[in-house]
Amino acid sequence: MIQDKGFKVIVFCLALLLLPAAPIMAHLMLIEPVEDGKIQVVFDDDTIASNAEVTVYNENDEKIKEGEVDENGKFSYPEEAEFIVADDGLGHRAEHAVGEDSNEQLPRELTIGVVLVVLALIAGIFKYRSSKNQKSS
């Protein structure tokens, strides 16, 4: 019974540690192509990243343009651009290779589910090893 209580305490503590991560995951920055030579920088909840700084690089990784997005989160870039980086100065950063459609992400629910399953498997392995060690003692 003590083992079960200890296991529950561990799971509860893990849940408490993971809860603050939910708001952090709420704002993934994305670079979306709008048309040739223009992108829009948004967060995954479709809010505009109005304070994003954009840096454009050519095929030789040389900086060819830098500036802020407009009030709609849009930014125009030259046609020799190969790679674009957006940063809002608050820890959000997005990268985009010109010519790709958009940043495809796994659904958040799937990612969270996989992480929880892995944590449960790890906890199960430790519980099994702990009970096996107590039986042999």
Q: What is the pLDDT of residue 1?
A: 44
Q: What's the pTM?
A: 0.58
Q: What is the pLDDT of residue 16?
A: 66
Q: Mean pLDDT, 10 residues at a time, over the chain (137 residues)? A: 68 69 64 91 89 95 96 94 94 88 65 86 88 75
- Burial 24-61, CB ≥16 within 10 A → b, else e: eeeeebbbbbeeeeebbbbbeeeebbeebbbbbbeeee
Q: What is the pLDDT of residue 109?
A: 73
The ranges assigned to domains in the chain are 1-26+106-137, 29-104
Q: 29-104: what fold? A: Immunoglobulin-like (2.60.40)
